[in-house]
Structure 1
Amino acid sequence: MDKAQKNGPVDGLKTRLNQFLETLETIEPETADLHEIDRLISMVDELEEQVEKIKSEKKS
């Protein structure tokens, strides 16, 4: 497996993390509603799943 294939999941995680940060920056704390907070929580859950997947693949 070459380096590009090994970094694929990590690059995907970086992209997803950047999307999360951009979303977080657009939310106004004073006016954030439950829908926006739920969306952020979902994104964090997805990031956590991706990290766990990468960790388990690394162990293999």
Structure 2
Amino acid sequence: MGKSISDNDQQVTYLKERLHIFLEVLDSIEPETTKLEDIDRLIAMMDDLELKMEQFKKSK
């Protein structure tokens, strides 16, 4: 695993990068060919982002 992120600026940067990745994936999805597994993967990405945000909130 990577090094723990405890600095507020690093936390915000991390979340911005993860959100940017999520938005790129979302933008690349073709509605006509999207499978349930793709939607599940997007939901998992959002869940991971939410979990990380909660962890960062608790570390303050």
TM-score by length of 2: 0.82
User: Are 1:41 and 2:43 counterparts?
Assistant: yes
Structure 1 equivalent of residue 28 of structure 2: 26
CA distance in 2, matches of 1:11, 1:50: 12
The runs of at least 4 aligned residues of structure 1 exceeding 3 Å deviation read none
TM-score by length of 1: 0.82
User: Are 1:17 and 2:22 counterparts?
Assistant: no
Q: Partner amino acid for 2:19?
A: L
For the pair shown, the structure with the greater C-alpha radius of gyration is 1
Unaligned 5+ segments in structure 1 are none
Q: Which has the higher helix share?
A: 1
Q: Partner amino acid for 1:35?
A: E
CA distance in 2, matches of 1:34, 1:10: 31
Paired-residue identity, %: 50
RMSD: 0.9
Unaligned 5+ segments in structure 2 are 1-6
